[in-house]
Every structure is written in C-alpha cells, then in structure tokens.
Amino acid sequence: MTKKIALITGITGQDGAYLARLLLKKNYIVHGIIRKSSSFNTGRINDIYQEPFIKKKSLFLHYGDLTSFASINSVISEIKPHEVYNLAAQSHVMVSFKNPEYTSDVNALGTLRILESIRQNKLEKKTKFYQASTSELFGNPKFKSQSEKTPFYTRSPYGTSKLFSYWITKNYRESYGIFAANGILFNHESPLRGETFVTKKISKGLSNIYLKKQKILYIGNLDSMRDWGHAKDYVYAQWLILQQKKPLDLVISTGRKYSVRDFIERCCKYLGWRIFWNGKGVNEYGYLILKNKKIKIIQVSAKYFRPNELNSLKGDSSLAKRKLKFKLKYNIDKLIEEMMSYDLKNKKS
C-alpha cells in the first residue's frame, strides 16, 4: 500500500511537533516547512529528526516561509501531498498588537498562498487542507459557551487575521471543491508550549521559584478565563477532521474554563504550596508563608495587559464529539501534572 503524504506548516511549533509524531506513528511520509533561523528552532522535533541520507526516510524538512508563495509552491508542487495541515502562524495575541502587519501577512495571506498553490497545481481533488482556526474568532461572546453557531467578533489583529483564513478556507471549499476544513480550537497547552504563553510561563516560573532559580513571576490579567486542553488530544482531533467523508468546521474544546489565578493555585498545589493574594489590579501580588515568613512570588504587571482582552471563553464541542467520536484523555490537573513535572525535571515529554 502506498503511504499517505502529509505536509505540516509550523512543524517546529507545539502542535506541529505532536502532529508529526502522530502521523509518523500512523505510517505517513511527513514533510515539514521550517524557517531559516540563526539559532536552532527544531528543538521540539529533535527526537524524530532523521539524517538526510538514511534509507526509508519518512520525515523531510524544507526551508520555507508562509510570507513567500514561491517557497510554499515549490514544496507543494514537488511532493503533491494528500493532506496539508496549516499550523504555521504568528500565534501570540499580544505580539499581534505590536506587529499587526506581519501577523496578517503570515496568518491571513499565508493561508491563501497555500490554498492557491493547491489550486494552481490542480490538486483540488487530491489534497485535503486543515486550517488552524481559533476560539479567538469569538471575541467576548454573549453566550456562556461557544459552538460552531456562535457569531464571530474578533478583538485582536491575531483574531482578525485568523478570521480571514477561516473564510478563505470555506471559500476555496465552496468555489473549487477542495476538502478544506477549519478546526476551531480552544487553548491547548503541553510541556512543549511556547514559553511566553500564560500556562507555560506559570509552570516554568513556579518551577524555577521552587528550584530557587527565580524569585518573582510577573503576570498580567489574573481573572481572565480560558478553556485549556492538551495539545496531544487536540492534534488527534486535527487528524480526525481530515479523515471525515465531508469537510466540516468543528469546535474542539474541553467545555470547562478556569481563570489564570486558578491555574496558578493548581500549580502551587502540585508543589505542596498554598498561595495567598493581596491587593488589587496592578498592585495585586501572591505570596507564600514559609517558616512564618511572607514570601512574595507573584506580582501583577501592566506590561502584560492587552489593549483589548477576551475575558472568558468556554467551548461547546458537542458536534465534534458526535462527528469525530472523539474523547479527551486529559483534564486540567493531568495537564498541569505533566507540565510541572517536565519543568521541574526539564526532561522531554
């Protein structure tokens, strides 16, 4: 049987690394697009890296960038993939306020470049396309939980760039018959999460404080609420979305939400600590009482407040559960346990 060929943009990112492992296990030939960088950016895929000249190679890396049609098109025209997972993005919401033009070029036009390449290479009937859409599309919704029916109202350049991609994916599906689907994924985390996202910042920061490598963790909005799942569960959903008979846009979430404050308290509990809070707004801080001494370990800093915040998100993924027959293996405490143990030991997961 001929092996399926998959192309992953963003293979060096959190999801790309988990998805590549999953597809290799499923016997795919996996191609990934990586960016040229002056320092190593392949740390998350070191363990699956294959030397260029080995026989029966199943993982191939290509230099490319979503801002360049030529680089994307040369890979797609050469490998003619059965499945493309578009995971590459400038994925940080706060950074998107600082760098809105670049964010839009990569996250919005980058998606269009891939879809155009599929079309121009006449791969409409062969290549299935997955778009990494996001709960950021919902903004600050009126409804308690968000499903495929919830109206979009993006609140950041990141969200708006992803809104373009959501629609262009649907446009190419409807206009050219491409199997193109959006996974509207809520926040998902793991030991491989980028260190400037809040969960990893907390697990790493508290681990460092525990190991006496750091004194204080500076943080932004403590009361913001998110629906946090595990990236391993969510990349499995990405694969399932492309295995369906028809392309569907589906919400993937846990259906539970927690505040940033909750997340900190649960990580502290893992360390055997109880945290106390004092003050309000930028004057709020968190402290421990150790040997009768008050020790400040968390300080709120306005530096991490956003020009426009999403206060509370919680997904309703009942449609995905029905269509994909999909079950989550992780809950928040299992996720925290894995992240904390990784950061304390700094070992691979």
What value, to the nearest 5°, has the Cα angle with vertex 266 and ends 264 and 271?
A: 95
Catalytic residue flag (residue 158)? yes
Distances (CA, A) of 322 to 123, 183, 242: 30, 15, 15
The smaller minimum CB distance to ligand F7E, of residues 168 and 184, is found at 184
The smaller minimum CB distance to ligand NAP, of residues 108 and 209, is found at 108
Is residue 90 a contact residue for ligand F7E (CB under 6 A)? no
Backbone phi, then psi, for 34, in 5-degree steps?
Answer: -120, 155
Among positions 242-261, residues that touch ligand F7E (CB under 6 A) are 260
Catalytic residue flag (residue 136)? yes
**225 three-class SS:** strand
Residues facing 133 on adjacent strands: 184
The smaller minimum CB distance to ligand F7E, of residues 10 and 81, is found at 10
- Residue 199: alpha-carbon gap to chain centroid: 12
Catalytic residue flag (residue 134)? yes
Q: Which does 14 bind (CB under 5 to 8 A by kind): ligand F7E, ligand NAP, none?
A: ligand NAP
From the candidates 83, 124, 136, 338, give the one annotated as an active-site residue: 136
Q: Which of 306, 319, 326, 337 binds ligand F7E (CB under 6 A)?
A: 306
Is residue 221 a contact residue for ligand F7E (CB under 6 A)? yes
Is residue 300 within 8 A of residue 283, CB to CB? The reply is yes
Using CB under 6 A, count the residues that bind ligand F7E.
22
Residue 22 CA to residue 19 CA, distance in Å, equals: 5
Q: How many CB atoms lie within 10 A of CB 213?
A: 10
Q: Which of 201, 230, 261, 314 binds ligand F7E (CB under 6 A)?
A: 201
The smaller minimum CB distance to ligand F7E, of residues 59 and 267, is found at 267
> What b/e sequence results for 125-149 when a residue is b if at least 16 CB atoms lie within 10 Å of its CB, and e otherwise?
eebbbbbbbbbbbbbebeeebbbee
Q: Which does 13 bind (CB under 5 to 8 A by kind): ligand NAP, ligand F7E, none?
A: ligand NAP
Q: Which does 77 bind (CB under 5 to 8 A by kind): ligand NAP, ligand F7E, none?
A: none
Residue 135 CA to residue 40 CA, distance in Å, equals: 30
Q: Which does 93 bind (CB under 5 to 8 A by kind): ligand F7E, ligand NAP, none?
A: ligand F7E
Residue 316 CA to residue 84 CA, distance in Å, equals: 26
The smaller minimum CB distance to ligand NAP, of residues 89 and 209, is found at 89
Shortest reach from residue 158's CB to ligand NAP, in Å: 7
Residues with active-site annotation = 134, 136, 158
